[in-house]
Structure 1
């Protein structure tokens, strides 16, 4: 039997643990290390004008390129468009007659916004015979990658093997609400995207497409090579050539070559024949 000497009380373990936890939190805050305090993410508010955000809406503003480049001359390519709520109800039959064969439709932004015209745009393009897909406008500072991927899949971003549905796309571009890189570090943004892509594939079985510009990619991810071998690239560049690609990709899959045209929507080219576009849809 152990007898404690009078006047030598045992230090309370709970008090020591509390002090240690406080010290760890302070050190984590000062050094930026993952720890008790650093594990809590202070997310920004939800977007306030998501109807004004679409694939490429921030590219021209930040990269100083005028919308409306000349149509590229490509032998093996398929003409497509991308649309969002700012295009409202789209005349899909007119686009089909002009030669448009695929469409990407904005479905969601963050985890609070859904495109009010999504049904008309997504189903309308399908009904006239187009191969269509949905895309998500990312705001990595408002919620986790997994949360936004789940929201996207739950609100139109899913995939089915029907030969006419493209894998979903993640739109990564300049922040319309503040810091161009969303206040995240380069590694933080890469990890956020990994979380999004991992969750999307778990939900749908498909590797999603990535929409991004080379300049933004270099600035905000340090020209990461983490996605080039897996995720098809959809690149915006308004002109007669696609230009330099982000690191990790040796070729592009989609090219948004103008932000306006004779008919509604941004105009795109699929880098290949129609049969290859159908193969991408089929998975």
Structure 2
């Protein structure tokens, strides 16, 4: 039987929660609405997310999508809302679902909706490297081809109305259009409740980027003082190898002293310019985000 853990999601429609009590009751994760569209912010997000984090739950946030608007602008709205709270282990979700009257999908084809989702996810991944980004979406959206492949799925389907966690835990795992779902939101009564198809420990590891991956975890960033011109260390060699593997500039030799050369700094700066909004000044000096990006580009986890 697949291990699972329990969670809740909230928005401005829910009052302030006793998150410590939820944790005592066995809840492992909780997600809060942060934003919608290009400008709207959830009025209770700050209160909800602060309580979720204080209780030690796996935290996350979601953005309600308007695919007939600019994905980059919408992503910027979300990024600004969650920026003060997002750190290692924080989960990000695009809430991709059609309003009943279709106003947020109006005028868009399935291909355009999928492209919107891909652009939103890419922008959020650039802003929060190493953090998981997924999609909350319906069976219809999946069937209509709105959802990119190989993205974590949080799936809503309510077969029973109000139901305890135990009923969902004992049921067959949903597989809409043959897709594997990571989270199942199985009821909205009295709160939106979900189960995750990982144990609590596995979810925490996955949220940190160290679980359920065939690629070894990125080595820890060794410290900015290691990356100055003329530095002698194995980490300089590692960064050079990642940049070469990822196709940044022509192949170059690493001297026997393993020295960070001016050419190496130029290559780091080129990477920073490519992802300038996320990586900061293109100074060639490597911080944690540049280190993580170079690793992801080299290992095919991020497109150039």
Q: Which bin holds the TM-score, normalised by the shorter protein? A: 0.5 to 0.7
Post-superposition shift, 1:145? 0.9
1:258 is the counterpart of 2:179: no
CA distance in 2, matches of 1:155, 1:246: 33
Q: Match for 2:145 among 223, 226, 243? A: 223
After superposition, the Cα gap between the structure-2 partners of 1:278 and 1:145, relative to the gap in structure 1 and judged at 3 Å, is same
State the Cα distance separating 1:176 from its structure 2 match.
Answer: 4.5
Confirm whether residue 276 of structure 1 aligns to residue 276 of structure 2.
no
Alignment of 1:165-180 (within 5 A): 165-179=89-103
Which of 95, 105, 113 in structure 1 is aligned with 2:40? 113
SS for the counterpart of 2:201 is helix
Paired position in structure 2 for 1:6: none
Is this contact kept in 2: 1:79–1:102, CA < 8 A? yes
Correspondence 1:79 to 2:23: no
Deviation of residue 216 (structure 1)? 2.9
Judged with a 3 Å threshold, the aligned counterparts in structure 2 of structure 1 residues 241 and 179 are, in CA distance, closer, same or farther, namely farther
Q: 2:17 aligned with 1:100, yes or no?
A: no
Separation of aligned partners in 2, 1:202 and 1:214: 28
Deviation track 1:232-283 (CA, whole Å, cap 9, x = no partner) reads: 1100111344433245x3x21111011114xxx3000110111211112212
Comparing 103-112 and 150-159, the one that deviates more: 150-159
For residues 72-125 of structure 1, the C-alpha deviation after alignment (integer angstroms, 9 at most, x for no partner) is xx7511110000000021121221222111101000001211111112110101
TM-score of the aligned structures, taking structure 1 as reference length:
0.64
Q: Work out the CA distance in 1 between the residues paired with 2:101 and 2:15.
A: 23
SS of 2:155 mapped into structure 1:
strand
**Distance between the aligned counterparts of 1:100 and 1:176, measured in 2?**
31
Report the counterpart of residue 234 of structure 2 in structure 1.
none
In structure 1, what is the Cα distance between the partners aligned to 2:102 and 2:149?
A: 27
Q: CA deviation at 1:160?
A: 1.2
Contact 1:166/1:280 (8 A) holds in 2: no
Task: Tell me the equivalent position of 1:33.
Answer: none
Q: Show the counterpart of 2:134.
A: 209
Q: Aligned Cα RMSD in Å?
A: 2.1
Once residues 109 and 177 of structure 1 are traced to their aligned partners in structure 2, the CA distance between those partners, rounded to angstroms, is: 17
2:155 is aligned to 235
* Partner SS for 1:85: coil
Question: For 1:105-161, what per-residue CA distance to the aligned partner results, in whole angstroms no more than 9, with x for missing partners?
Answer: 0000012111111121101011112111111011122x2111111110111166312
Please show how residues 1-283 of structure 1 align to structure 2 within 5 Å.
76-141=3-68, 143-156=69-82, 159-161=86-88, 165-179=89-103, 181-205=105-129, 206-218=131-143, 222-223=144-145, 227-229=148-150, 231-239=151-159, 240-246=171-177, 249=179, 251-261=180-190, 265-283=191-209
Unaligned runs of 5+ in 1: 1-73
Q: Given that residues 90 and 120 in structure 1 are in contact (C-alpha distance below 8 angstroms), is that contact kept between their aligned partners in structure 2?
A: no
Q: SS in structure 2 opposite 1:87?
A: coil
How many pairs align? 196
Distance 2:200 2:132 in 1: 20
Taking the aligned partners of 1:166 and 1:188, their CA distance within structure 2 comes to 28
Contact 1:214 / 1:246 at 8 angstroms: preserved in 2?
yes
